[in-house]
Amino acid sequence: MFSFFSFQLKIKDIHIRYEDGLSCPGRTFACGVRVESLTAQTCDDNWMPKFMPSSAQGIMYKVLELQGLAVYWDTNTDLYCSDDGNASFENLSAKLMQPCTVEKHEFLLAPVSGCAHLKRNCSAKPLRSLNQPRVACDLQLERVNIELRDVQYHQLVQVGNF
């Protein structure tokens, strides 16, 4: 018996930010994660997005595309919210959703994009071959730049001891 099991997920403009003016005396820091977009889709065996019938015996294909994943730790920054924690939603939203540029942030993980092709064997029976895994993933990323400066490390340690 076939049933249809397909999904499509599209997420755009995610920004999670934490600001702290207390943990490191004399310095206000902010850290955050940004994602420009994340898309996940069910595909056929040629990796073309499509509604596919689900079967207990078949192979399921998914494509995931990630654009602009970035992690930053700004060591000396202005708070987006005022000292009393108030800010208008429109002003705060406009500030947070500005493009994530090198000039604006001190990146731990500079913006990176990539694509993953997932292939899952949906058989209910146990797999008997070491050469054919239940799940296989082909991940392609641009160059991944990771950097941790001394001042970022010291602030991370201070926050951990707070």
What does the DSSP assignment read for 92-158? Answer: HHHHHTS---TTT--EEEEEEEEEEEEEEE--SSPP--TTS-SEEEEEEE----B---HHHHHHHHH
Confidence of residue 131 (pLDDT cuts 50, 70, 90): confident
Confidence of residue 25 (pLDDT cuts 50, 70, 90): confident
Asked whether residue 20 carries a pLDDT value surpassing 60, the answer given is: yes
Give the pLDDT of residue 40. 92
Can you tell me the distance from the alpha carbon of 63 to that of 18, in angstroms, rounded to the nearest whole number? Answer: 31
Containing 161, the helix (H) or strand (E) segment is helix 150-161
Q: Cβ distance 44 to 61 under 8 Å?
A: yes
Give how far the C-alpha of residue 63 lies from the chain's centroid of Cα atoms, to the nearest Å. 15
The predicted model scores a pTM of 0.70
Q: What is the mean pLDDT of residues 45-55?
A: 77
β-pairing, 59-74 vs 29-43, is antiparallel
